């Protein structure tokens, strides 16, 4: 399967989280070695859709009034969408790439400004709407074009409330990111990140991720996981020498993640939400699993 992620890897700008490929074909283009694509949502989500299809399988109960963590938040669109749609107590997005965190802060400012304008019942200025739609195309539109009438999905969040609820931090979740002291989360998301952790830090990195999530969850908390399939690893195995080596030595295929999380890490139950997911673009039709601590 040719993954969209792979096709778009050349679009990243230069930063420490990317490498330059020297082969003729790639001709000094940059590769997002952590899956830290710029404009990820611009190609991940179909332009005609109102929101990222994954939003539809997420349950309000997991987020409303809850402390949440989004591992590998990229430019923060899912993080902000969740805060807006469900009204979390707080949601923190963490990403290894400082440029993506900058993008996320920028998006948050824009979305908050637009939300405030809508809630003060002025129609958004056309120029602003165009700006948002141009951010990462329609996904941003879904964040901003919500009117108060559609309040089933937009509870009480006003523009400025978003700043109290949503925050972003640069950090490598596997190696050195630590939450504020004594913080435990009710809900932790890890969407389309495991392949990148697996390729960069091998099986050890993957198990570290799972253990750390377990420790950071409150009893009764939920871990929402969207793993990429093993078939897609092949497309990205050459991003670095480390990834190429890890690709050859990985012993835990994504099909085994569920058993490991239940039998070894200690989650008590899993709900498979995949059957309720529809509208994903080709190459992004991935399972979504909810594990209960
Ligand atoms: C393919 S994107 C997925 C974005 C988002 N979770 C989603 O599904 O919409 C993967 C993201 O994970 C981040 N990432 C990879 N390894 C990471 C790590 N060890 N710690 C934090 N973020 C990481 C990348 O920088 C990238 O932004």
User: Exposure pattern of 124-150 as b/e (b: 16+ CB <10 Å)?
Assistant: beeeebeebbebbbbbbbbbbbbeeee
Please state the rounded mean pLDDT for residues 200-216.
98
Highest mean pLDDT among 160-169, 235-244, 275-284 belongs to 235-244
- pLDDT score of 19 more than 90: no
In a domain, 129, yes or no: no
Domain tally, the chain: 1
What pLDDT score does 151 carry? 41
In a domain, 261, yes or no: yes
Domain that holds residue 209: 19-36+45-102+163-292
Ligand 1: does its nearest atom lie under 6 Å from the Cβ of 67?
A: no
In a domain, 175, yes or no: yes
pLDDT band at 41 (very low <50, low <70, confident <90, very high): confident
What pLDDT score does 198 carry? 98
What pLDDT score does 223 carry? 98
In a domain, 140, yes or no: no
In a domain, 126, yes or no: no
Alpha carbon nearest to ligand 1 atom 25, residue: 36
Ligand 1: does its nearest atom lie under 6 Å from the Cβ of 190?
A: no
- Percentage with pLDDT > 90 across the chain: 62
In a domain, 135, yes or no: no
List own/partner pairs for 193-197 with CB under 8 A and 24 or more apart.
193/35, 193/71, 193/72, 194/225, 194/227, 194/228, 194/254, 194/257, 195/35, 195/227, 195/228, 195/232, 195/233, 195/236, 195/254, 196/34, 196/35, 196/72, 196/236, 197/173
Ligand 1: does its nearest atom lie under 6 Å from the Cβ of 34?
A: yes
What pLDDT score does 142 carry? 52
What pLDDT score does 279 carry? 76
In a domain, 69, yes or no: yes
What CATH number should be reported for the domain holding residue 87?
3.40.50.150
In a domain, 111, yes or no: no
- pLDDT score of 48 more than 50: yes
Residue 81 token pair: 């969408």
């Amino acid at each position: 399967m040719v993954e969209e992620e792979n096709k778009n890897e050349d679009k990243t700008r230069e930063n420490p989280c990317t490498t330059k490929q020297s082969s003729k074909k790639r001709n000094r283009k940059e590769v997002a070695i952590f899956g830290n694509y710029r404009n990820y949502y611009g190609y991940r989500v179909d332009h005609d859709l109102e929101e990222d299809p994954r939003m539809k399988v997420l349950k309000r109960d997991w987020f409303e009034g809850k402390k949440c963590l989004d591992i590998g938040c990229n430019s923060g669109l899912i993080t902000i969408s969740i805060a807006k749609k469900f009204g979390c107590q707080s949601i923190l997005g963490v990403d290894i790439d400082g440029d993506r965190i900058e993008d996320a802060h920028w998006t948050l400012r824009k979305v908050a400004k637009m939300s405030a304008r809508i809630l003060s019942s002025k129609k958004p200025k056309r120029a602003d709407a165009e700006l948002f739609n141009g951010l990462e195309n329609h996904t941003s539109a879904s964040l901003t074009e919500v009117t108060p009438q559609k309040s089933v999905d937009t509870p009480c969040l006003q523009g400025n409330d978003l700043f109290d609820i949503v925050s972003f931090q640069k950090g490598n979740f596997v190696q050195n990111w630590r939450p504020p002291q004594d913080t435990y989360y009710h809900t932790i998301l890890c969407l389309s990140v495991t392949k990148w952790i697996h390729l960069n830090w091998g099986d050890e990195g993957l198990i570290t991720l799972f253990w750390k999530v377990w420790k950071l969850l409150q009893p009764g908390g939920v871990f929402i996981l969207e793993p990429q399939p093993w078939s897609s690893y092949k497309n990205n195995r050459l991003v670095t020498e480390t990834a190429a080596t890890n690709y050859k030595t990985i012993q835990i295929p994504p099909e085994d993640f569920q058993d490991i999380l239940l039998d070894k890490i200690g989650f008590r139950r899993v709900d498979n939400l995949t059957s309720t997911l529809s509208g994903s673009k080709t190459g992004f039709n991935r399972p979504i699993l909810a594990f209960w601590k």
